[in-house]
Amino acid sequence: MTRRVPILATLIVLAAVATMLALGFWQLQRRHEKEALIARYRANEALPAIPFPTGATDAALLFRQTQAFCAGVNGWRTEGAGAAGFRHIARCGGPDGGFAVDVGAAPDPRFRPDWRGGPVRGWIVPERQNRSWLAPSASLRLMIVSAAPAPGLTAPKRPDPESLPNNHLAYAVQWFLFAISALAIYALALRQRWRRAGNPQ
């Protein structure tokens, strides 16, 4: 008995498997890129403090120590900070549009710190609203996580490059498993087809 293989269905399955394998290898490449990025940010922590770079810049400065002067607070916003409650972020004014400073956390999101500005020392991080900051050359808005809390707040958590998500290996394994599963399912389907062809009712 000749076991015929359906050409169109086989081509579709092989194309899908090839796509899954390509996505898996791409995730492995992204994993190495992310590891290099985290290593760069770790190195930034040991560099001397720089004046805070207001305006558009790039991600190469993330996690560096910085210093600035907040000439006055134009407004506040809060963001969730897990077990610490809510972090309070001041918008400091300035002729160049100003900058944001995380001055600490409190359980109550409605709490308003009695802080009107002044010298600030801390670390450079991306503003949370920006979603492109993991790209090393992306233009983005930066902010400061203050090393010292404002009155009435607990100190902000120091930014840690190791906290950056690097789950590309897990994604790669998933794509490879999808490819193996697709081949296995198709092989079972072919076997069932041949069995029915060899034992017509």
Question: Number of H helices and number of E strands within the chain?
Answer: 2, 9
- Where residue 11 falls among pLDDT bands split at 50, 70, 90? very high
Between 2 and 122, the more confident residue is: 122
Q: C-alpha angle with apex 56: 129 to 109, nearest 5 degrees?
A: 30
Q: For the segment 113-161, what is each residue's pLDDT rounded down to a tens digit?
A: 889 999 999 999 988 654 444 554 455 789 999 999 999 999 988 999 9
Length of the chain: 201
pLDDT at 84 over 60: yes
- Diameter of the chain by CA atoms? 88
pTM of the model: 0.73
Q: C-alpha angle with apex 93: 121 to 69, nearest 5 degrees?
A: 25
Q: How many CB atoms lie within 10 A of CB 197?
A: 12
pLDDT at 17 over 90: yes
Tell the burial category of 48 from Cβ atoms under 10 Å away from its Cβ (0-12, 13-18, 19+): exposed
Going from the C-alpha of 12 to that of each of 39, 77, 119, 175, 181, the distances in angstroms are: 41, 52, 63, 17, 15
